Amino acid sequence: MTGSAWLLLCDRSPALRHRVLAELLDVPADDPERADLDARRADDPQVRALLEAEPEPLQELSLLLCRLGHLGLDRRHPRVAALVERVFDRQAPDGSFPLDAFRTDERYTMIPLQVSLPLRGLAAVGAATDPRAERAYAWLLERRNDDGSWPTGLVAGQPGSVPGYRRLPGSPGCRANTEAALAALAGHPGRAGSEPARRAADLLLRRETRDEWAVGTEIARLHGRERATGFISLHSRFDLAFVLDLVSRTGISARDARVADLVEFLEGLRGPAGLWSHPAHPELGRWLTLDLMVSLRRLEGGSWAGEGPRLAFRPGDVPVQRH
């Protein structure tokens, strides 16, 4: 793995190279090369464009924080800190964020994504432990189903339907909302390995689909190559690189048979140089490789394995609806 990491250092992006040094090669923060890249990271054209963006909708603002966090910036940067405050300015007294701030079906009165999406953005830039974020986590955890999944939401006080593409095998929950909730929990330094996060990971791993074409969807969105459209349907694709990233953050080990099979599948997509190619955007191959290598490294220190069943996924004939 170390050999492949060195190949990533050939990339032109100082943001990517900085993450390689920090997350794969354990180069200390006071190392001259890492310190130099840290100073130059904000001058990366992609980073500079994001820092100059002025999104107003809460969904776009939350995704902007995710993108900045992916490139290695956090709330210590004054511009990122200002964006964090703009998110918190939209927070309701009960810790949630207003559902009407998102483009969604007006029949719904509650959708867990209204909180998990802003929380994921806040966590991506190091704001997960802010007391205001902790109130939002409390709200999110109170909306869990009894089996540890998250529902689609409420329509006139009744549970919303779960279309085929969002079914969670063996659970009444919504895969999209459960995946989004796990993304929020996985970014929290104290909640990533908690029972709710591990239970959500266990439920996601029940679904055994191998959509090679969807691998790297999240990377493409974080780099602006694909639009993050919809709301619940943001998670319509089952991106196995993203799934591995999320479950690896919970402290799961490759001893879990489902994780081992997932790793075997992804390793089978690896090129002869030890790098992965992005199926739709070749220029993102090194970023996808970094993402997968970091996930695989986390698995080496994993301490738990689930015992959940492997269940066939049958989406049915329900079309994807853009809520």
Question: How many other CB atoms are there within 10 angstroms of residue 209's CB atom?
Answer: 12
Burial (CB < 10 A; 0-12, 13-18, 19+), residue 87, is buried
Sign, Cα dihedral of 251, 256, 259, 264: positive
Cβ atoms of 310 and 208 closer than 8 Å: yes
Q: Which residues pair with 159 in a beta bridge?
A: 154
User: Domains in the chain, start-ordered, CATH in brackets?
Assistant: 44-300 (1.50.10.20)
Q: Please, which residues bridge with residue 158 across strands? A: 155
Predicted local distance difference test score (pLDDT) of residue 3: 67
| Predicted pLDDT at 319 | 34
| Mean pLDDT of the residues in the chain | 92
**Cα-Cα end-to-end distance for the chain:** 41
Residue of 317 and 198 predicted with greater confidence: 198
Q: Token pair for residue 213?
A: 């074409």
pLDDT at 271: 93
Question: Residues 95-132: pLDDT tens digits?
Answer: 999 999 987 777 899 999 999 999 999 999 999 999 99
- When pLDDT is averaged across residues 261-271 and rounded to a whole number, the result is 96
| pLDDT band at residue 304 using 50, 70 and 90 as cut-offs | very high
Q: Give yes or no for a contact between 175 and 166, defined as CB atoms under 8 angstroms apart.
A: yes
Neighbours of 115 (CB within 10 A): 29
Eight-class DSSP state of 167: B
User: Model pTM?
Assistant: 0.94
Nearest to 292 by CA among 248, 241, 255, 256: 241
Give the chain's length: 323
pLDDT-derived band at 314, boundaries 50, 70, 90:
low
